[in-house]
Amino acid sequence: MKLHNFSFRFNAKELYRRCLLFHYYRIFNGHLNEPRLETLRDPILFPHQHLVDRAGRQWTGNLLTLKGALIRMAEYWPRLPDTAGTPCPVQFSDSEGAGFSEQEKLLFALNSAVNPWRDRVGGVSEDGWISHDRYDDALIATAAGDEEDIRLLENRGAVQGSR
C-alpha cells in the first residue's frame, strides 16, 4: 500500500514539476517568441496559421490532428516566404501521407458519431474527462443512454430477424 502511495505522489510531483517548468518557460521566453511569430503570420497562407498560433503553447488536440497539421505544413513549405533552397525540417513519406488521409477520414467519421454522445452526457472533454461538479449528472445520462442503446439494438435485432 505504501509503495502505491509513493508512486502516486512521485507521479503527481513529476507532473507538477513539468507544468511549472512549462509555465516558467512561457513567462521568461514568451516575449522572445512574439517577433518570430509575427514574421510567420501571413494571411494568404492559412494552413500554417494553425501551427503558428499554437507554437508557444502545449498541443491541446490529439496526436492525429498534430500529425495532420505537420503534414499540411510540410506540403505548404515551398510557398512560405524565405524558404527557397531550405528543406522543410519535417519530412513525411508518400505512404505516410496516404495512410494519414485514410486515418483522418476515419477520425472525422468517429467524431461525428461521438460528438452527439458527448453533448448528451454534457461537458465531456476530448480526452474523456468531466468536471467533478457534473460527474453525477454524467453518470445518470450515460446510464440512460446505455439503456436506450440496448433497446435500439434489441429492436434492430428483432427487425433483422423478421426478414
pLDDT in tens, 98-146: 888 888 888 888 878 777 777 777 777 766 778 888 888 877 877 777 7
CB neighbours of residue 86 within 10 Å: 10
- Which residue has 429492436 as its cell numbers? 155
Residue range 25-51: mean pLDDT, rounded: 67
Which pLDDT score is estimated for 22?
Answer: 85
Q: pLDDT class for 42, splitting at 50, 70, 90? A: low
Q: Which residues contact 96 (CB under 8 A, 6 or more apart)?
A: 71
- Cell triple for residue 124? 465531456
Higher local confidence (pLDDT), 52 or 91: 91
Residue 88, in any domain of the structure:
no
Contacting residues for 23 by C-beta, under 8 A, at least 6 apart: none
Q: pTM value?
A: 0.46
Structurally, the chain folds into a number of domains equal to 1
Give me the phi and psi of 128, to 5 degrees please: 90, 10
On average, the pLDDT of the chain sits at: 75
Looking at residue 142, its amino acid is T
Can you say whether the dihedral through the CA atoms of 40, 41, 45, 51 is positive or negative?
positive
26 pLDDT exceeds 50? yes
User: Residue 48 falls within a domain, yes or no?
Assistant: no
Domain span at residue 22? 1-40
CA 53 remoteness from chain centre:
15
User: Is the model more confident about 3 or about 123?
Assistant: 123
Residue 163 lies in a domain: no
- Please check whether residue 113 lies inside any domain of the structure: no
- Do the domain assignments include residue 123? no
**In this structure, is residue 138 part of a structural domain?**
no
Question: Does the residue 69 lie in any domain?
Answer: no
Q: CA–CA separation, 52 vs 47, rounded Å?
A: 9
In a domain, 35, yes or no: yes
Q: How large is the angle between the packed helices 94-121 and 63-76, nearest 10 degrees? A: 140
